[in-house]
Structure 1
Amino acid sequence: MPTRDTAWPAGTPCWIDYGAGELDSAKAFYADLFGWSWTGGDEEYGGYANADKDGAQVAGLGPLMGEGDPPSWTTYFATDDAAATVGRIRDAGGTVVVEPMEIGPLGTMVIALDPQGHAFGLWQSGEHTGVQRYNEPGALVWNEAAVEDTDAAQRFYTAVFGFQWQAMGGMAPYATFGTGGDPLGGLGGVSPGLPAGWTVCFAVSSTDGVVGAVEGAGGKVLHTPEDTEFGRFAVLEDPWGAPFSVMELPARG
């Protein structure tokens, strides 16, 4: 069970959170789906709560930031210097929606848009270091973006985070990104009927079981379960229209 309780290296997708229109209902849905419990939710932090899996934080959930915003998941990238990263975002043609904001002693957050209008966040950790459990059922396993212009997106994210790219054989224009070690996520083109922008993928013990649970709760299946070399994969939409993916990881030998 991979765990981490220190700050993630700069450029790593380090945290995810959900902007909810119906806080209690969304908490119940995701708790039932992934076996989460919730901590926090204090007024001091605007009702923001952390999802815990076996005592370790795996995601966040809070109210929508802007009136009329749709419920959605946000991917946050680790940064050692939020102000400097904001400068690179602007220099590369992106837009900063929420300027660096200190969240008490927890850390500093930023919300930005890439030049194609896709939202992402930055997190400069303090006491809150981001995801503590990952790559196991009920936790984050992958982050990827679907964009209209993959070459332009690669240039932008390279300028901001220093990413290196590795093409995936037979999956062009899809490529993984990293900063010199293992791949940290992926980026590819937009597919008809599937979400654009950054999406999050959760590891699950049974993709088909989760698909059935989502449909039973009023959600939708955007991409039916498919076996891949990485595991059994599906793209879903929760009852409020927010997309996310699930992956049943292959059994370890």
Structure 2
Amino acid sequence: MPTSIPLGGPIWADAVTPDLSGDLDFYMRLFNWAAFDSGEQFGHYTELCLGATVSEARAVAGIAERASGEPGSSWGVAFHAGDCVAAVAQAEKLGASITSHPIRVGDDLVYAALKDPDGGAFGLFEPLSDKVGFTARDEPGAIVWFEYVYDGAPVEAMQFYSELLNWSLKAPEGGEPDRDAPYVGLWTHEGHAITGGHVEFGGARMALGPELKMQPHWTVCFGTDSVDLTAAKAVDLGGSVAVAPVDDPGGRMAVLASPTGAFFTVMSSREL
């Protein structure tokens, strides 16, 4: 296997935007990321990394320009599939719809885009090389968590993913911090090659307030040493604050938006 990321776990995240240069500048300055352009052959898809040089670079996420005429700006997540074609076929049987059929990208990966039975977008990603996927995680400036927001019982929405990707679902137990809405933790069934055991990578919760008007969706959460300072910096750089900094059971967090309106979360906790 070309990656230590567990099967079924999040292996990549990226943003699509109608203003690649503008949003790229925003994210690089906000998180102190370096950017590596894949060139015209791949539509100038850009990898965002911690570390200033190629030898130091550790991949955090990617960003690409949205196809001409398509509206909006957003973040998305892709999950590790051992066989992308077979996984897409299984997803269809479970009620998903295909947005983009499996396509091979150079010698590095096979990728497909789908929508789950509730309409939430996600990707399936089969790595063919050890050069793809996250090489930075769970630290300031990198992704630390994924969350699915759904207008309904989270455990019901997650049954699809549990069957497709072999996840374990875990509802909060007595003694754990209370949450404002029903919640379920998400775990890969396969252990990490380094840490062993099941890996908790995110959660799913019932939508609240303005989220009730939105489609079910995955959110990406980036680590930071200070949520409040990062939120203020985002505004200075032309972004906005959708949910002001607040303490929740996982730590302090805020929901921010890029200048083109892509929502993402920043989070700090004692574990970062």
Task: Answer yes or no: same fold by TM over 0.5.
Answer: yes
Give the whole-Å Cα distance in 2 for the aligned partners of 1:250 and 1:158.
29
Aligned to 2:185, which of 176, 191, 195?
A: 176
Residues 190, 114 of structure 1: alpha-carbon distance in 2 compared, 3 angstrom cutoff: same
Give the whole-Å Cα distance in 2 for the aligned partners of 1:105 and 1:125.
9
Deviations 1:203-223 (A, max 9, x none): 011111111011222322222
Given the alignment of the two structures, is residue 133 of structure 1 paired with residue 150 of structure 2, yes or no?
Answer: no
Given the alignment of the two structures, is residue 30 of structure 1 paired with residue 27 of structure 2, yes or no?
Answer: yes
Aligned residues: CA RMSD: 1.8
Give the whole-Å Cα distance in 1 for the aligned partners of 2:86 and 2:134.
23
Query: TM-score, normalising length from structure 1?
Result: 0.92
Secondary structure in 2 matching 1:33: helix
Q: Residue 159 of structure 2 corresponds to which residue in structure 1?
A: 155
Query: Does the CA-based 8 Å contact 1:145-1:197 persist in structure 2?
Result: yes
Q: Residue 144 of structure 1 corresponds to which residue in structure 2?
A: 147
The one-letter code matched in structure 2 to 1:158 is S
Given the alignment of the two structures, is residue 231 of structure 1 paired with residue 251 of structure 2, yes or no?
Answer: yes
Cα deviation for residue 251 of structure 1 reads 6.3
Give the whole-Å Cα distance in 1 for the aligned partners of 2:207 and 2:69.
27
Given the alignment of the two structures, is residue 16 of structure 1 paired with residue 30 of structure 2, yes or no?
Answer: no
Aligned to 2:90, which of 88, 91, 94?
A: 88
Query: Does the CA-based 8 Å contact 2:47-2:62 persist in structure 1?
Result: yes
Secondary structure in 2 matching 1:183: strand
Aligned to 1:190, which of 203, 207, 216?
A: 207
More displaced stretch, 242-251 vs 87-96: 242-251
Secondary structure in 1 matching 2:164: helix
Aligned to 1:209, which of 208, 221, 229?
A: 229
Given the alignment of the two structures, is residue 39 of structure 1 paired with residue 46 of structure 2, yes or no?
Answer: no
Give the whole-Å Cα distance in 1 for the aligned partners of 2:26 and 2:184.
32
* Percent of paired sites with the same residue: 30
Unaligned 5+ segments in structure 2 are 52-56, 190-197
Q: Residue 242 of structure 1 corresponds to which residue in structure 2?
A: 262
Q: Residue 113 of structure 1 corresponds to which residue in structure 2?
A: 115
Query: Does the CA-based 8 Å contact 1:9-1:79 persist in structure 2?
Result: no
Query: Does the CA-based 8 Å contact 1:193-1:222 persist in structure 2?
Result: no
Give the whole-Å Cα distance in 1 for the aligned partners of 2:244 and 2:158.
28
Query: Does the CA-based 8 Å contact 1:7-1:125 persist in structure 2?
Result: no
Give the whole-Å Cα distance in 2 for the aligned partners of 1:102 and 1:143.
25
Residues 174, 229 of structure 1: alpha-carbon distance in 2 compared, 3 angstrom cutoff: closer
